[in-house]
Structure 1
Amino acid sequence: MKSIAIFCGSKAGNQAIFIHTAQCVGQVLAKKGITLVYGGGRSGLMGTVADSALQAGGRVIGVIPTALVDKELAHPNLTELHVVRNMHERKTKMSELADGFIALPGGAGTLEEIFEQWTWAQLGIHAKPCGFLNVNGFYDPLLQMIQRTVDTGFTQSRFADALQVSDQIEGLVEKFELYHSPEPKWGVSDVTP
């Protein structure tokens, strides 16, 4: 695993464990020689994970839309910063640069980003792992909802099972290194009513 995209909050959240975890993520990725790919911002958990990786000697690649650069939200000290036209290009570029995708705590943007990559994996657009760093049970309700989509017949269990979950970044990276992607959607079993 050469690079991992981290999706996380542009805010810090209201629990110290969120900041502490973002710091650990940056440090662990740097120490393992894994390039951090992220949204290019300097605020919240995004800025924390980038700063931690840089301070630990890691490579950090940011991808940020022009509109956010214009609002002076871009991190000024990254290894590389890609400025793109819009959010769609941002997600596509991050997908091209990363070998896997991890969601830390965050809001709507974080959820949208990880769900798009998980959807792309299901469709066979890529075969890269997607996972949740489940800090202090943050994602427990969401994981229950994903299971509900399986239980009610909207998601094949192989796709829910393919989501990697851990409360420790080291455990999640290890799972990513052992990851085998499931058969993409629209096999014979997926077309039956």
Structure 2
Amino acid sequence: MQSIVVYCGSNFGTNPVYAEAAYSLGNELARRKINVIYGGGNMGLMGRVADGSLENSGTVTGIIPNFLAKLEVAQKTLTELHFVDTMHERKAKMVSLSDGVIALPGGYGTFDELFEILTWAQLKIFDGPVGVLNINGYYDLLILQLDKMVEEGFLHIDNRKLLLVSDNAVDLLEQMQEFAVNNPGNKPLDKSLYLENDND
């Protein structure tokens, strides 16, 4: 894997363990020479992931909508910073540049991005590994919900297995690498599949 998208909160959360984990993930990605792709912001966990990579000789690509950049929340010291018009375009650009996706703790935006990429993986629009870094048990209840969806017949077990989970960045990246090796058909996202409905 050469590039990984990181979804995470623009807040720090109430426990310092989240910021520490975000920085450590950025550091680990830099150590493995994996480019970080993220939403381009300088606040909260987003900023800490970028810092963790950049301060350890890594590379970081930010994708930010123009309306957010005007609010001056863009990280200024990135390796690359791309400006787009819409949130849909942002998500498309991020994933089209990536070989995999990791979600850290976050709010509505993080969950939106995570479930959208899982849906694309289910539909085989995206073939890369998708993982959550389950820091401090943040995703425990979500994992139980996914198991409930399988139990009640709304989620196929094979699609449940599309989400990789660990509370440790090194272990999660190893799981993702194994997934990538065992699923060599990884292909770039065909943005035309959904951008044509960008105004919906």
TM-score (norm 2): 0.89
**Preserved CA contact (<8 Å) 1:162 1:182:** no
For 2:14, the equivalent position in structure 1 comes to 14
After TM superposition, give the deviation of residue 162 of structure 1 in Å: 2.0
For 2:4, the equivalent position in structure 1 comes to 4
Structure 1: how far apart are the matches of 2:23 and 2:181?
Answer: 29
For 2:190, the equivalent position in structure 1 comes to none
For 1:65, the equivalent position in structure 2 comes to 65
Structure 1: how far apart are the matches of 2:138 and 2:181?
Answer: 25
For 1:186, the equivalent position in structure 2 comes to none
Structure 2: how far apart are the matches of 1:164 and 1:44?
Answer: 24
Q: Give unmatched runs, 5+ long, in structure 2.
A: 184-200
Mean Cα deviation higher: 172-181 or 52-61: 172-181
Between the two proteins, the alignment pairs up a number of residues equal to: 183
Structure 1: how far apart are the matches of 2:61 and 2:84?
Answer: 13
The amino acid that maps onto 1:149 is M
TM-score (norm 1): 0.92
After TM superposition, give the deviation of residue 136 of structure 1 in Å: 1.0
Q: Give unmatched runs, 5+ long, in structure 1.
A: 184-193
The amino acid that maps onto 1:55 is E
Q: % of aligned pairs identical?
A: 45
Structure 2: how far apart are the matches of 1:79 and 1:161?
Answer: 34
Q: Residue 97 and residue 37 in structure 1: after superposition, are their counterparts in 2 closer, same or farther (change >3 A)?
A: same
Structure 2: how far apart are the matches of 1:168 and 1:126?
Answer: 24
For 1:160, the equivalent position in structure 2 comes to 160
For 1:56, the equivalent position in structure 2 comes to 56
**Preserved CA contact (<8 Å) 2:10 2:41:** yes
**Preserved CA contact (<8 Å) 2:25 2:49:** yes
For 2:188, the equivalent position in structure 1 comes to none
After TM superposition, give the deviation of residue 126 of structure 1 in Å: 1.4
Structure 2: how far apart are the matches of 1:154 and 1:58?
Answer: 40
The amino acid that maps onto 1:63 is I
**Preserved CA contact (<8 Å) 2:121 2:162:** no
**Preserved CA contact (<8 Å) 1:159 1:182:** no
For 2:77, the equivalent position in structure 1 comes to 77
Helix, strand or coil at the partner of 2:76: coil
Structure 1: how far apart are the matches of 2:163 and 2:105?
Answer: 16
Structure 1: how far apart are the matches of 2:47 and 2:86?
Answer: 20
| CA displacement, residues 121-158 of structure 1 (integer Å, 9 cap, x when unaligned) | 00010111111100011000001011111111111001
